[in-house]
Amino acid sequence: MSTRSSTLTGRIMSAPSIIALFLWMIVPLGMTIYFSFLRYNLLSPGMEEWVGTLNYEFFLTDPAFFASLANTLLLVGSVLVITVIGGVLLGLMLDQPIFGRGILRLLVIAPFFIMPTVNALVWKNLLMHPVSGMFAWIANSLGFQSIDWFSEAPLTAIIIMVSWQWLPFAVLILLTALQSLDRDQKEAAQMDGAGPVSIFFYITLPHLSRAITVVVLIETIFLLTVFAEIFVTTGGGPGLATTNIAFLVYTQALLQYDVGGASAGGIVAVVLANIVAIFLIRLIGKNLDR
Amino acid sequence: MENKQTPLGHIGFSIFAWIVGLLIFFPIFWMVLTSFKTELEAVSIPPSFISFDWTLENYAEVQARSDYFRFAMNSVILSVGSTLVGLLFAVPCAWAMAFNPTKRTKDALLWMLSTKMMPPVGVLVPIYLVFRDWGLLDTRFGLIMVLFLMNLPIMVWMLYTYFKEIPSDILEAARMDGATLPKEIIFVLLPMAVPGIASTMLLNIILAWNEAFWTLNLTTADAAPLTAFIASYSSPEGLFWSKLSAASTLAVAPILIIGWFSQKQLVRGLTFGAVK
Amino acid sequence: MGAIRLEKVKKTFGTLDVIPGVDLDINDGEFVVFVGPSGCGKSTLLRLIAGLEDVTDGKILINGVDVANEAPAKRGLSMVFQSYALYPHMTVYNNIAFGLKMAGESKAVIDEKVQNAAKILNLTDYLERRPGALSGGQRQRVAIGRAIVRNPAAFLFDEPLSNLDAALRVNMRLEITGLHQELKTTMIYVTHDQVEAMTMADKIVVLQAGRVEQVGKPMDLYNNPANKFVAGFIGSPKMNFIGGDYAKKHDCHEIGIRPEHVAVSTESGDLPATVKIAEHLGAETYLHVNAGGFGPMTVRATGEVPLGEHDKIWLTPEQDRIHRFDANGIALGKL
Ligand SMILES: Nc1ncnc2c1ncn2[C@@H]1O[C@H](COP(=O)(O)OP(=O)(O)OP(=O)(O)O)[C@@H](O)[C@H]1O
Ligand SMILES: [Mg+2]
């Protein structure tokens, strides 16, 4: 239906959302960009001055930046690998006829609904505590030395926690994709003499490629800004061992009150996220045309 | 891979699958179990699985010591509030995009989506300063606005994909029947879209309930929801594992249940319709 | 009362010129059928009349009043959609009553009208059901009921029967015709089924690419098509067209002859032909033949004919049934 009045109504009806989002994202982003060119510290108000790209130079040459960039990439990369591979395997598993599959499925996806702060504290205390944690007890009863996760392998600990949280997301989506796979196609391949392994590589995996792409892109967007898990467990430490870019920006802004530097860092984070976002938006945009 | 399995192989595989599933679920199970132990038992080695004195004390303690319900109330107000405000904005917008598309509709949708890709740290500084200057820090109103705006693109998208499935004929029929636009939306579109709207609301409540960037950075006490309350247990002064577990169990239970009920529809919302 | 008049009605979608300019007169009480190939703009024209699309230019007069800029509900028309477009969440009763509620009628009036419509359409037993629990034919009747109760100036139908199976379609066709005789309200009916067009219409409007090719009574179009397009479109199986010398003999560019107007003989005739496929339907037989230099033709023989592949036959067109066309496809009139 398209009449002049309906087109106009359409505009009016969508305007509030579009304007609200514009005010929420574009305006603050503009302010961030502006602040990133100022020397601006909340501890010395009224002293703001234009410093050009100085903040960026400081931020980008700060060893903390490299450390946190490396941590960010390591965190994102490891979690992606773990969740995608784990997601495919668990998806395949849950696609089989299993006793009580429905309930099993609920158990597997449960971690996704756990709030990040709970996730972090349960893992940190109940499971990974070097003395009274579950893992320590298991290691000791098997005759090993228990690990003090948050001082010996802090980033690994964070990676495990975050992977646990995001694995269900991958499972949920890959399972949905698996269930939409034509049974006929698999049966045709079986008639052609393909074994389970060839069916997986020639039929199942190509069918999943799109879903995997979506999982990778969406997870990347969220993983680039993992915050709460770090905030409540390690506080970025020890040293910079678990500081990612999001956390670095947070420390500069709300702990050191360095608005200019934090803004520059924020923009760097935006640029990183956008590199991923472009691919995701293309993919979804193509989908819209169908 | 619907291979004919032997009954034995079938049972073996089921057992294996259940072991894997239970391992994944274990942290949650352990948290719930610990919430029923005394603090001493909670840290005891070896850990006790069944043979301990089950107690509900922790749940009572959590409330008594820390005013748990105030935080819980904040969580409810923030997630439900932001969801309702979101519906108010997103329903008309999704209606317009689904039924009155123009050449720019697709671009608008993708632009909305792209705002979701923006890392919050990119706008943390100005939002924090604006909140400070306007007295919005640690207010429920301010946080409802933030959560609503944060999830608005997802709401519009989800509703849009649901509305798209409603044949526009039916809305046109209503128009021929003399329904004005508000009546068309209220009497025809919304009742038909109830399942879609419900799952949109549920997803939004889940996301808002678990949101832990803005809720940690923009609240201190008054408006702090459960995410912030749980985070306060991270301070090392004394480990109250049982109480932490009790508080955590209470904090995740409602969402876990909602999530379990709406798992099918969540896929669509979380992938913007890219996986069906 | 429902006389509808279109004056230079134009519709473009972006740069796509769907209706380049249509003039049309529809008298009060007339049953008018729009036919034409898929994508020719039938639905668009109907939706323009309904007000679901804006005209790009031109006037739409209902009983002499230009309604081109009125909202759909203000035009006093009812529409029956191809998909029925019933409200799935309302009972049959509420589906039919919805329009009346929107118009602010009282409960008593609504009830009377709904019950009355239900009686006419045999829906009384189904009033409390939801559309999902009805058969295709019943849904169709609900859609018609919804249209009736509003006492419209005219009914608009967009291929209302195309989702029904063949047998039901015949039934509903008769029901709609019966309804028209009873209500005597103007009806505009879009279809691409020519049997519907021929049997139901007082007046057929043949459209092609958004243009009106011919308007007339069904038998007028059948007997005197204005051009090759109408000649080929009306009638089934399609009219045969023959050019070349045989056409020259008739002093035109091309002649057209309907399959039912060709005599078949195994001994003699005007044109020699070879049977390729014979479709035996019992009451009649369609012969798809190769008529030498004239190319493939279809002819219809009455009753059972003992002919099959490779049989040699002779064809003789009935001379007073031959249609003549000039090089532009315009009909030249009978010889
Ligand atoms: N909203 C629209 N935007 C752009 N083009 C449109 C729109 N609606 C219809 N068209 C185009 O206008 C032309 C006529 O469409 P219409 O639906 O009127 O055809 P129709 O005669 O009803 O065909 P059918 O018999 O298949 O229903 C088609 O080429 C169609 O693609
Ligand atoms: Mg049509």
Structure token pair of residue A91: 């998806």
The residue of chain B with its CA nearest to that of C86 is B170
**Which amino acid residue places its CA nearest to atom 12 of ligand 1?**
C18
What does DSSP say about strands C254-257 and C323-325: parallel, antiparallel, or unpaired?
Answer: antiparallel
CB atoms within 10 A of CB C157: 26
Model confidence pLDDT, tens digit, residues A148-186: 888 888 899 999 999 999 999 899 889 888 887 777 777
Percent of chain C surpassing pLDDT 70: 99
CA proximity to A31, closest of A259, A284, A287: A259
Q: Name the residue ranges covered by the structural domains of chain B.
A: 66-232
Subunits in contact with chain A (3 or more CB pairs closer than 8 Å):
B, C
Confidence category of residue C335, pLDDT binned at 50, 70, 90: low
Q: Which residues on chain C are in Cβ contact (under 8 Å) with A1? A: 47, 52-53
User: Domains of chain C by range and CATH?
Assistant: 4-232 (3.40.50.300), 238-325 (2.40.50.140)
CATH architecture classification, A54-289: Orthogonal Bundle (1.10)
Cα of B169 from ligand 1 centre, angstroms: 14
Cβ–Cβ under 8 Å, residues A290 and B276: no
Structure token pair of residue A53: 């790209």
Cα of C162 from ligand 2 centre, angstroms: 11
How far, rounded to the nearest angstrom, does the alpha carbon of residue B249 sit from its chain's CA centroid?
16
CA distance C92 to B210: 44
Distance from CA of C79 to the nearest CA of A (A): 14
Q: CB under 8 Å to C265, separation ≥6 — which residues?
A: C313, C314, C315, C316
**Which amino acid residue places its CA nearest to atom 8 of ligand 1?**
C44
B:48-87 residues touching chain A, CB 8 A cutoff: none
Query: In the predicted model, what is the mean pLDDT of residues A245-261?
Result: 82
pLDDT at B2: 45
Contact flag A1-C52 (C-beta cutoff 8 Å): yes
Cβ–Cβ under 8 Å, residues C228 and C325: yes
Question: Is the per-residue pLDDT at C331 higher than 60?
Answer: yes
The residue of chain C with its CA nearest to that of A4 is C54
pLDDT at B238: 53
Beta strands in A166-217 (DSSP E): none
**Which amino acid residue places its CA nearest to atom 29 of ligand 1?**
C39
Mean pLDDT for chain A overall: 83
CA distance B108 to B115: 11
- pTM to 2 decimals? 0.81
Instruction: Find the CB nearest B275 among A106, A177, A246.
Output: A177
A8–B contact, CB cutoff 8 A: no
What single letter denotes the amino acid at residue C162? S
Residue-level pLDDT, tens digit, chain B, 276 residues: 444 556 777 788 888 889 999 999 999 998 888 888 877 777 777 777 776 777 787 788 777 777 788 888 899 999 999 999 999 999 999 988 888 888 888 888 888 877 877 778 878 888 888 888 898 888 889 999 999 998 898 889 888 888 888 888 899 999 888 888 888 888 999 898 888 888 888 888 988 988 888 888 888 888 888 888 888 877 665 568 888 888 889 888 888 888 888 777 777 777 766 666
Instruction: Find the CB nearest B172 among C78, C85, C102.
Output: C85
CA distance B132 to B139: 11
Cα of C41 from ligand 1 centre, angstroms: 5
Percent of chain A surpassing pLDDT 70: 97
pLDDT at A228: 85
pLDDT at B274: 65
**Which amino acid residue places its CA nearest to atom 31 of ligand 1?**
C39
Phi and psi at residue C226, in whole multiples of 5°? -75, -25
Contact flag B170-C89 (C-beta cutoff 8 Å): no
Contact flag A4-C54 (C-beta cutoff 8 Å): yes
Q: CB under 8 Å to A219, separation ≥6 — which residues?
A: A79, A80, A83, A166, A169, A170
Model confidence pLDDT, tens digit, residues C194-240: 888 999 999 999 999 999 999 999 999 999 999 999 999 988 889 99
Contact flag B170-C87 (C-beta cutoff 8 Å): yes
Query: In the predicted model, what is the mean pLDDT of residues A110-125?
Result: 89
Model confidence pLDDT, tens digit, residues A58-78: 888 888 888 888 898 899 999
Determine the residue of C18, C49, C194 to mutate for testing ligand 1's pocket, defined as the one with the most ligand atoms within 8 A of the Cβ atom. Answer: C18
CB atoms within 10 A of CB B179: 22
Q: Which residues on chain A are in Cβ contact (under 8 Å) with C52? A: 1, 3
A3–C contact, CB cutoff 8 A: yes
pLDDT at A82: 95
What single letter denotes the amino acid at residue A69? L
CA distance B209 to A113: 10
**Which amino acid residue places its CA nearest to atom 3 of ligand 1?**
C13
Model confidence pLDDT, tens digit, residues C156-200: 999 988 888 888 888 888 989 998 998 899 999 999 888 889 999
CATH class of B66-232: mainly alpha
Range of lowest pLDDT (A134-138, C34-38, C104-108): A134-138
A191–C contact, CB cutoff 8 A: no
CB atoms within 10 A of CB B87: 19
Contact flag A121-B153 (C-beta cutoff 8 Å): no
Q: CB under 8 Å to A74, separation ≥6 — which residues?
A: A155, A159
The C-alpha angle with vertex C65 and arms to C59 and C70, in degrees rounded to 5, equals 70
pLDDT at A190: 76
CA distance A231 to B180: 52
Structure token pair of residue B7: 């009954």
**Which amino acid residue places its CA nearest to atom 30 of ligand 1?**
C39
Model confidence pLDDT, tens digit, residues A14-59: 889 889 988 888 888 888 888 888 877 777 777 777 877 877 888 8
Cβ–Cβ under 8 Å, residues C266 and C313: yes
Cα of C26 from ligand 2 centre, angstroms: 20
What does DSSP say about strands C31-35 and C186-190: parallel, antiparallel, or unpaired?
Answer: parallel
CA distance B245 to A114: 13
Residues at CB less than 6 angstroms from ligand 1: A 2; C 13, 16, 18, 36, 38-44, 192
Model confidence pLDDT, tens digit, residues C309-322: 888 899 888 888 89
Query: In the predicted model, what is the mean pLDDT of residues A88-108?
Result: 88
A141–B contact, CB cutoff 8 A: yes
Structure token pair of residue B153: 């693109």
What ipTM does this complex have? 0.82
Burial group, residue C170, by CB count within 10 angstroms (0-12, 13-18, 19+): middle
Model confidence pLDDT, tens digit, residues C246-294: 888 888 888 899 999 999 888 888 888 899 999 988 888 999 998 877 7
Distance from CA of B271 to the nearest CA of A (A): 7
Model confidence pLDDT, tens digit, residues C122-152: 889 999 999 988 988 899 889 999 998 988 8
Determine the residue of C15, C33, C40 to mutate for testing ligand 1's pocket, defined as the one with the most ligand atoms within 8 A of the Cβ atom. Answer: C40
